[in-house]
């Protein structure tokens, strides 16, 4: 007996494009029918509208906490929107910060959410308030265009306002790359929708090369992320990004950049061909070549990224599937069109949280504050949101956000330091030096109740886990260890859990996949220790590993390094994997 199988399509037949590609192609450069949907008396958008509004910096979400009582009442979902700013390098003036804080109070849920990529998210915005909120953001000379969507997202770089030549140049280049890779025709659509800009009669009639000279009519296959970092201060997690520029410094001056490509965190549990990857070195470029190099890599991704399977539609899979040598060849031949120079060996040796008081080169000061999981809020005795507002209003300081979800307030005159310290005390804002190391090095994504992809809690669950970890480490005399712990509600990896020394990735309900063995400086991926661990079992399992680490570590060895060199099966036995 024989069975017939459907023949495979000829090699020349292109795979069917994903549905999102069709939405983008028919959108008239990100317009679609968003204007009509925003004007309609509804509380949510269509499926096409949900996709297009991402390019404008917003996600349609729902209040998942409200599901149970709304279902009992026989009413539908409680729709709301998240709005994300586009903040290259995470910098704001005093007036800009205060304006965003005002908008969070007027239209959001009364909190600010600092992201792991130096931006701010406003949560809980209703559809009827979207236009007023985005208009208010633009009135503050800020934007949300490209905060989400299949384009280059927020460009990150070291936020420390030290004034040194390297960080000053990196910030300028981050601004330049962000401006160059911003959507062109999409900007016109953005102004039409949110800022009452003059409409273009027929945007489809505009030649693609003029309308979107970098992206084309259908933009990128998926999101694209860019970072700048220093070898001795990898505070932006350079290797987690699609594109990274690592400063090459000689005599205190930036003389070039090593270009890295192919990093990324997300994976899908049901697809074994998806996985986190670290970026690989590709070549070296001069400072005046950085913008052109960024465009060249984006164009390569535009042309060769997977547009059929969005789960594998990231630059990291292009580089992984091709190999770094083929990637270099195609990049140089078709996009860079000049000889490649080999990267300069610059090992990553550190990462700085930039906490505490630091002097700037101009004689002023900046203060780095730890913001647990990036949530700027007033809760109990800790009135962080009110405290930051009072400080910014009083001393007119600048605000910079870090890729570790923290806030740096800068350009503070020496004479204002005592006033800032007094306000921190008045509002109950803890100074970083008073916080346990494991808390300062922890990060979480928002997850439930706002993210529709979350399988478990994250932001609301991690503080309790960290409290238990603090106690376990203190008992062992390890309270001073800078152990990085990152939690996400799903395997998309928004808090970069696959590089941390301890990664906790939501599996469902109150269970998490436990990862160990990453690197506090972002140089190494971790590995799975155990799947589906109940949240109440996480700390007991880690405590057993901490005890072994204390007794067996080499001088100066970190917890991540210890786990990476120790036999995996032994670690699993120590942790009682499966029990």
Contact 229, 157 (CB under 8 A): yes
CA separation for the pair 451, 440 (Å, rounded): 24
Instruction: Return the DSSP state at 271.
Output: B
CA separation for the pair 209, 217 (Å, rounded): 9
Lookup: tokens for 383: 């009135």
Instruction: Count CB neighbours of 139 within 10 A.
Output: 11
Q: Which residue has the tokens 């910079």?
A: 400
Q: 129 to each of 81, 83, 122, 469, how far by Cα in Å? A: 9, 11, 12, 41
CA separation for the pair 397, 409 (Å, rounded): 6
Find all residues with CB under 8 Å of 274, minimum gap 6, and list them.
266, 267, 268, 311, 312
Lookup: tokens for 210: 């003029």
Contact 58, 135 (CB under 8 A): no
Secondary structure of residue 281 in the 3-state scheme: strand
Q: What are the contacts of 566-575 at 24+ separation with CB within 8 A?
A: 568/527, 568/529, 571/516, 571/529, 571/545, 572/529, 572/530, 574/544, 574/545, 574/548, 575/514, 575/529, 575/530, 575/541, 575/542, 575/544, 575/545
Find all residues with CB under 8 Å of 378, minimum gap 6, and list them.
384, 385, 386
Could you list the beta-strand ranges (E) of 319-388. Answer: 356-359, 365-369, 375-376, 378-379, 382-383
CA separation for the pair 78, 450 (Å, rounded): 11
Per DSSP, helices labelled H in 107-183 are 130-139, 165-180
| Phi and psi at residue 462, to the nearest 5° | -65, -40
Which is nearest to 372 in space by CA: 447, 429, 322? Answer: 429
The number of C-alpha atoms within 13 Å of 437 and in the hemisphere containing its C-beta is 13
CA separation for the pair 180, 178 (Å, rounded): 6
Could you list the beta-strand ranges (E) of 475-555. Answer: 485-488, 502-508, 511-516, 527-534
Which is nearest to 278 in space by CA: 329, 326, 227? Answer: 227
Residues belonging to the active site: 84, 153, 223, 225, 445, 451, 490, 494
Q: 130 to each of 42, 56, 119, 479, how far by Cα in Å? A: 13, 11, 18, 45
Find all residues with CB under 8 Å of 213, minimum gap 6, and list them.
184
Lookup: tokens for 488: 């996400």
Lookup: tokens for 157: 């770089």
């Amino acid at each position: 007996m024989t069975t017939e199988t459907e023949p495979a399509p000829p090699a020349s037949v292109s795979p069917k494009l994903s549905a999102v590609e069709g939405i983008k192609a028919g959108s008239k450069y990100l317009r679609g029918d968003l204007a009509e949907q925003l004007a309609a008396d509804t509380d949510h958008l269509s499926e096409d509208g949900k996709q297009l509004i991402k390019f404008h910096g917003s996600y349609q979400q729902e209040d998942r906490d409200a599901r149970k009582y709304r279902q009992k009442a026989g009413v539908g979902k409680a729709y709301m929107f998240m709005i994300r700013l586009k903040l290259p390098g995470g910098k704001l003036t005093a007036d800009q910060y205060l304006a965003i804080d005002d908008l969070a109070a007027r239209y959001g849920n009364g909190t600010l959410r600092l992201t792991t990529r130096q931006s701010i998210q406003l949560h809980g915005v209703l559809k009827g308030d979207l236009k007023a909120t985005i208009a208010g953001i633009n009135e503050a000379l800020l934007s949300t265009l490209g905060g989400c969507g299949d384009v280059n997202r927020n460009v990150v770089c070291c936020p420390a306002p030290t004034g040194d030549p390297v960080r000053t140049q990196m910030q300028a280049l981050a601004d330049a790359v962000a401006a160059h890779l911003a959507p062109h025709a999409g900007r016109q659509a953005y102004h039409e929708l949110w800022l009452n800009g003059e409409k273009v009669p027929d945007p489809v009639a505009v030649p693609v090369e003029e309308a979107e000279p970098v992206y084309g009519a259908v933009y990128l296959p998926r999101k694209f992320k860019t970072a700048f970092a220093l070898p001795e201060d990898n505070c932006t997690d350079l290797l987690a990004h699609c594109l990274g520029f690592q400063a090459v410094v000689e005599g205190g001056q930036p003389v070039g950049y090593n270009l890295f490509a192919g990093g990324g965190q997300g994976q899908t549990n049901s697809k074994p061909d998806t996985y986190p990857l670290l970026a690989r070195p590709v070549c070296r470029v001069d400072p005046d070549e950085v913008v052109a190099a960024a465009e060249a890599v984006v164009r390569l991704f535009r042309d060769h990224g997977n547009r059929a399977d969005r789960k594998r539609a990231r630059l990291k899979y292009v580089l992984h599937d091709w190999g770094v040598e083929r990637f270099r060849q195609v990049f140089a031949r078709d996009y860079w069109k000049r000889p490649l120079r080999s990267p300069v060996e610059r090992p990553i040796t550190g990462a700085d949280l930039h906490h505490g008081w630091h002097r700037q080169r101009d004689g002023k000061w900046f203060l780095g504050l730890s913001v647990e999981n990036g949530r700027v809020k007033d809760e109990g005795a800790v009135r962080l949101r009110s405290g930051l507002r009072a400080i910014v209003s009083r001393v007119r300081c600048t605000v910079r956000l870090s890729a570790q979800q923290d806030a740096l307030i800068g350009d503070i005159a020496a004479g204002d330091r005592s006033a800032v310290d007094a306000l921190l005390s008045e509002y109950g804002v803890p100074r970083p030096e008073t916080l346990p190391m494991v808390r300062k090095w922890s990060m979480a994504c928002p997850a439930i109740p706002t993210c529709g992809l979350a399988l478990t809690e994250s932001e609301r669950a991690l503080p309790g886990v960290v409290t238990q970890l603090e106690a376990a480490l203190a008992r062992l005399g390890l309270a001073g260890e800078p152990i990085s712990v990152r939690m996400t509600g799903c395997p998309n990896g928004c808090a970069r859990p696959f590089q941390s020394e301890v990664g906790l990735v939501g599996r469902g309900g109150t269970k998490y996949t436990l990862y160990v063995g990453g690197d506090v400086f972002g140089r190494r991926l971790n590995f799975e220790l155990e799947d589906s661990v109940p949240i109440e079992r996480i700390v007991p399992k880690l405590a057993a590993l901490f005890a072994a680490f204390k007794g067996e570590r080499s001088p100066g060895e970190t917890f991540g390094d210890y786990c990476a060199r120790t036999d995996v099966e032994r670690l699993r036995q120590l942790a009682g994997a499966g029990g």
